[in-house]
Amino acid sequence: MEMILQVLELTSIFSEHIKNAGIIRYVNKENAQQQEFVGNWLGYDYPLACRVLKETDAPLLYPVMKRSAYRLSGFIGWAKYAPGWDINTVQKFVRDHVNSPAPRFHLIFTIGYEVVGFGSLAPMKKPRDIQVALWVAEGHEGRGIGSWIVTVLEWYAFNVFGYDNVFYQHDIGNSKSGNLAKRNGFKFSHVFQEKKTAWKEIGFWVSYKKQRPKGMHPGAIDTGTLDNWVGITFPWKCLI
């Protein structure tokens, strides 16, 4: 928890590192060199940005989660209950996530004044492994937002925290999720069986894996600190 609070204190991440990680997507890829460093996301009037989840985010997430619940409920367990949630239940959901112990780590993704996605790092059996999890808000699917969420989470996992392997796992029935993993350079690792928690799940999951590139500086899980990120700035700003 202390390490996550340190992340909250960071104003952002060094723009050159992010550029090298491929996190920034330009409005026009063919003319990327002529674009501003952070252009508006394609089809929107604002850039796609992110920040760490805060306890005050329940009013922002409440309408998004309610609106997105049915589509997400096929493969995300909590979503089947969301239609009946009031603001207090969403507040508990947010508080539980904010206070979840490391290595859990949660980001909201915004375009302008709207939440368009949610991304998390979650534990694996081995302490030097981590997995990504995410959802994209209703009305914002198919616009590359999910891929960018994965890229940002991967960047945090390797650069900031220093994990050896990042995993992307999904139920076999969720083929769109598998395509997202492949597009982001994850390679097939293994298949495993898991108890079904959502109505579209088959109960067998595919695990994809990406290894940390060689030659990177030690991350927080080795150094025990995030001091080397203090004072470094994001190339974007969340408006909410």
Q: What is the pLDDT of residues 81-113, one digit of tens each?
A: 999 999 999 999 999 999 999 999 999 999 999
pLDDT for 3 equals 52
* Residue 6, pLDDT above cutoff 80: no
The predicted model scores a pTM of: 0.85
Structural domain boundaries of the chain? Answer: 2-165
Average confidence score pLDDT of the chain? 86
DSSP count for the chain of H helices, then E strands: 7, 7
Work out the average pLDDT over 158-179. 94
How many other C-beta atoms lie within 10 A of the C-beta of residue 65? Answer: 25
Task: State how far the Cα of 76 lies from the Cα of 200, in Å rounded to an integer.
Answer: 9
The CATH fold of domain 2-165: Aminopeptidase (3.40.630)
